[in-house]
Structure 1
Amino acid sequence: MRTQADRLRHTIMFEVIGLLTCTPLASWILQRDLIKVGTMSMIISLTAMGCNYLFNIAFDHLLIKLGRRVNDRPPWLRAVHAVSFEASLLTITVPFVAWWLNLSLWAAFVTDIGFALFFLVYAYLYNWAYDVIFPMPADDPQPVIR
């Protein structure tokens, strides 16, 4: 499994690159002020960082429990990882988006789906690239869950 420092680097890099890419695009699509969308995006980003950290630990533990090596992630498993993370994050962020942008829950859900679709593709590509650039340590013969 990854170290705590590596997980922190992974999470911070993911959010910073995502914010710099997504915020101007979302502001333009939503026709809202860049500062308002940027502030909302940062709040969602901080929420996502905490969720991402916990989700990735849980996902790695699940892989070990299922007898899979944590560094053996074929494309279908990467897709499951990305979709399940985004679905869990949506349940937290939709009410906030509705309140922040003064939208109905349905409009906030549609808006958040747009963010989720962007980050779904981004997460898949980012995690794949991250694993190539910062490979996981070799699996121990008998992984220990800490």
Structure 2
Amino acid sequence: MQIHQRSAGERLFHALAFEILAIGLSAPLAAWITGHSVLSMGVLTAVIATIAVLWNILYNWLFDRAQARWRFDRSTGVRVVHTCGFEGGLIVIAIPFVAWWLGISVWQALLLDIGLVLFYLPYGFLFNLGYDKIREKIVP
């Protein structure tokens, strides 16, 4: 079992890499699906990404502390739970902003966010698995 202790700099790098790649992939797709402008969806995804970066740093810090306390491996199952917990928390935080920004109901914002989660769940899972593998090779 490997315990991951990350510096603040690495946490920031991880969060920013995750969000920059995600924005590049999701903003044009969301604009195409919703019919809103790419600019509107780009601003929306950038604000959500900013929220997500802050949430990501906090969430992963808590995750690392939990791993240190309970001594579990970062198995595939743990990564599934990790990803679902992150995305669930982000939904609760982001929905009110999405509804306000797009001028839609909270229900419509929830449905839109569920669509985004269908993108972010596999993306988050694959990004973090890849990050862990690369990190094992780079960080002693």
State whether structure 2 residue 43 is matched by structure 1 residue 42: no
After TM superposition, the structure 1 stretch with the greater mean CA deviation from structure 2, 4-13 or 28-37, is 4-13
The equivalent of 2:25 in structure 1 is 21
Q: Which structure's relative contact order is higher, taking Cα pairs within 8 Å and 6+ residues apart?
A: 1
Map of 1:1-146 to 2, 5 A cutoff?
Answer: 1-68=5-72, 72-135=73-136
Relative to the length of structure 2, the TM-score reads 0.92
SS of the aligned residue for 1:2 comes to: coil
CA contact (8 A) 1:2 1:137 kept: no
Large movers: runs of 4+ above 3 Å: none
SS of the aligned residue for 2:100 comes to: helix
Paired-residue identity, %: 37
Relative to the length of structure 1, the TM-score reads 0.88
As a proportion of its length, which structure holds more helix? Answer: 2
- Unpaired runs of 5+ in structure 2? none
Q: How many residues align?
A: 135
- Unpaired runs of 5+ in structure 1? 139-146
Q: Deviations over 1:26-79 (max 9, x none)?
A: 0000011000000010000000000000000001111121122xxx31111000
* Distance (whole Å) between structure 1 residues aligned to residue 71 and residue 15 of structure 2: 25
* Distance (whole Å) between structure 2 residues aligned to residue 104 and residue 49 of structure 1: 25
